[in-house]
Structure 1
């Protein structure tokens, strides 16, 4: 497909910093870049912005790679994939940034600033006292230094940074592909630092140099970067380079309208993986945080998203992270999977939840039947494992609230009668079981629930779960009778204690 913006073959990038986990906001940014590139037949680059070596975390870098791979967002160029625009780690490009800073110095577009931290602190304090609304950034003290003084300071190896000469009386205007025209007055902008005193670039210089040299045509990023865009445009102009197209995605808010936090949706991608979410569900959920395919369609595969994606349908309005909806979507995708495909993941959960693993776990045919009973009513893989433990071990206890409701003294005789009838039942199928329970209830003059609820609690320890008769069939005659008898004994003991 051709690209709507000047018929360029789009080149986009996802450029995370490995200073922490990849959260859902970053994953959405990666997804939108991936979809835009794939829709228009372009190139999706992964670039690692690791110039902040103090905060660099090797494990965070590996988590970024693992998260993107798990989601299926495979990059065309970048670490591991290679490509003609590398290297793809900014820490390996520092000499390049220094050369470009020197170019701006030579062209008179930048200058060296020798101000100490103490002087800058005093300057900010004075500005705060004066309550300066605009122009309260750097006061351009070194921009006015005589050349001879600059040379003398350099000869003395004085520490310094390199700053951009931000032009006066200039309105920076750019067309955001999502938000329309945005403008900033240059009086609101500081003479920003391009190169730090340690020779490492700031984010702004490295970002612009890399985007230009990597031939990035479209910058798709979160709306927190809007305020940086005029700075970047001025850096492009200083180099004489055309800027790329910009599109700033809407902020993602928590369900209560507040900022996302780890307690409110901003967990890492791999945390969602570990919690039993499906990658297809998380992708489907993320794509709808700011983008709409049209109509009331919500369930989409990655290929379907790719075919339908366009920036024209991305809203500037804040998106809301509704974890209930994510769980609903995950349940949908979970139900599409076969018991066979779910078995390894559910088995891993069982082995953690049921130490030491019971021998019956080795029976894969049985385990798959258990999964089949639970997957339709589960929203996450972990729920299948958590709610099905009684298929592998007798319940260690009974839910107290349910026991007060369903375990009465008269229940003992009902459970004894059921155990006697079940011992003679053949075949032990859910159809035959249902018929027996209806028959016994009718014979006792009781509603079927008076038998069904105590039975469920007796065999599982809880008051909820899959269909009772399917559950009894899978547990088997011997197990069901044993548990009915154990529950009757427990009720008798509990009643004795109350007396």
Structure 2
């Protein structure tokens, strides 16, 4: 068997959809697991949909996610470059190649010039729809003699080039996920191969490119499944052996509909911006449509490469569940060194105006203590601004009726007064003070259990539950604690 070669071949039409990342990921995992090559090719023949900067965004997103390619299009020194022995890897730079191969199809009688206008084709299709037929090209130009066609072209007539499908032929192929599939050419169209602007259609370019780049497996979304018989016909027309096909289930939302921008975040950049770890996003995405042969759910990229196989890819769509993503990403955050998490958190804390660059330079240990305090509860990094707001507010009102009830207990004035006395006897809060204060207060007041701990927690954080109290005391420091106790005494009790 020849070496495995797969490709991810997106169009530069905007942001990178989360479903595109999963397609790229499955290509990557398969190639790496088989010791093969993973290629990034840019399919930009539809010039009307081209978006400036989309190629750069695509490559940066893939590199951030760790789904890196061996050949194709790269960014070096802020420039797009191409590397590999099968280039160019950008379709718009391959027009001479397509022209060469379209001529071969015409010479063999497998393709023909079509002079039908858009108006005529639209009219035919409307008539077919009204008669309950499948709308498709009626073959009006199939019988035009090649010499006549060339004269009409020389005279300036606009034209396309279409594939001449064999009549009433069963087109058969095997899909690794879907199994054996048969479609008769009666249900297919003489598809356009070359458009009137001189650019190839996706269907023509993809077959030529995949053959010349020696792609062994086509791994793509199942929206391309209906197009595959057309591609098989092209391979047969050229006398080429088709690659193996793998059509992946669609990424769905919770309503079992195709994931789209209307339901919220769907771009890789959206998740990057919110501070999801690439390891967490990739780990979760791998599980959307594929199940490992184990109950394990948390994987590194190397572990995914070892485990991944197409025989465990589902035939049905995989649901993209944000809650499950958050859980998976949270597990990866928990495993990180707190210094790494602190560095990831700093930009979000700055944006919230909780810290300054001066704090980063002079009080890094204090910032790290804040991050360590909430690290285990984080689902993604941007969430940290909500988790740590208790440390940065000027005052803390009880967050609910139960917290208010607890802070209004009859023992609370004595308790808070004793706490203030202990604070006034020290220069600054340290580890020893934070670890021993509740024992001291218990001995001093006789108050114990939740009547001791809970009112102090509510006074300092406004909450009945939350981070470790020793950490809260250390992070707030003497003056902030005194300010919060004074606020409770003057405004709540």
TM-score (norm 2): 0.91
Q: What is aligned with 2:438?
A: 434
CA distance in 2, matches of 1:361, 1:482: 24
CA distance in 2, matches of 1:93, 1:438: 80
Q: Deviations over 1:83-103 (max 9, x none)?
A: 111111111112211221121
CA distance in 2, matches of 1:369, 1:169: 72
CA distance in 2, matches of 1:51, 1:476: 62
Bigger Cα displacement from structure 2, 138-147 vs 401-410: 401-410
Distance 1:437 1:153, change over 3 A: farther
Q: Deviations over 1:52-99 (max 9, x none)?
A: 222211232222111110111111001126111111111111221122
Q: Secondary structure at the match of 2:190?
A: coil
Say yes or no: does 1:385 pair with 2:385.
yes
Contact 1:23 1:268 in 2 (8 A): yes
Q: Deviations over 1:319-353 (max 9, x none)?
A: 12121111111111101111211222211101100
Distance 1:435 1:31, change over 3 A: same
CA distance in 2, matches of 1:277, 1:298: 17
Q: What is aligned with 1:316?
A: 315
Bigger Cα displacement from structure 2, 31-40 vs 53-62: 53-62
Contact 2:173 2:182 in 1 (8 A): yes
Q: What is aligned with 2:7?
A: 13
Distance 1:187 1:454, change over 3 A: same
CA distance in 2, matches of 1:358, 1:89: 43
Q: Secondary structure at the match of 1:143?
A: coil
1:185 deviation in Å?
0.8
Say yes or no: does 1:482 pair with 2:483.
yes
The 5-angstrom pairing of residues 5-404 of structure 1 reads 7-80=1-74, 82-133=83-134, 136-147=135-146, 149-264=148-263, 267-354=266-353, 357=356, 360-362=359-361, 363-391=363-391, 393-396=392-395, 398=397, 401=400, 404=404
1:206 deviation in Å?
0.8
Contact 2:396 2:461 in 1 (8 A): no
Runs (5+) with no aligned partner, structure 2: 75-81
CA distance in 2, matches of 1:381, 1:404: 30
The 5-angstrom pairing of residues 456-467 of structure 1 reads 456-467=457-468
CA distance in 2, matches of 1:47, 1:165: 28
Distance 1:163 1:313, change over 3 A: same
Runs (5+) with no aligned partner, structure 1: 1-6, 493-499
Bigger Cα displacement from structure 2, 252-261 vs 367-376: 252-261
TM-score (norm 1): 0.90
CA distance in 2, matches of 1:20, 1:440: 66
Contact 1:97 1:201 in 2 (8 A): yes
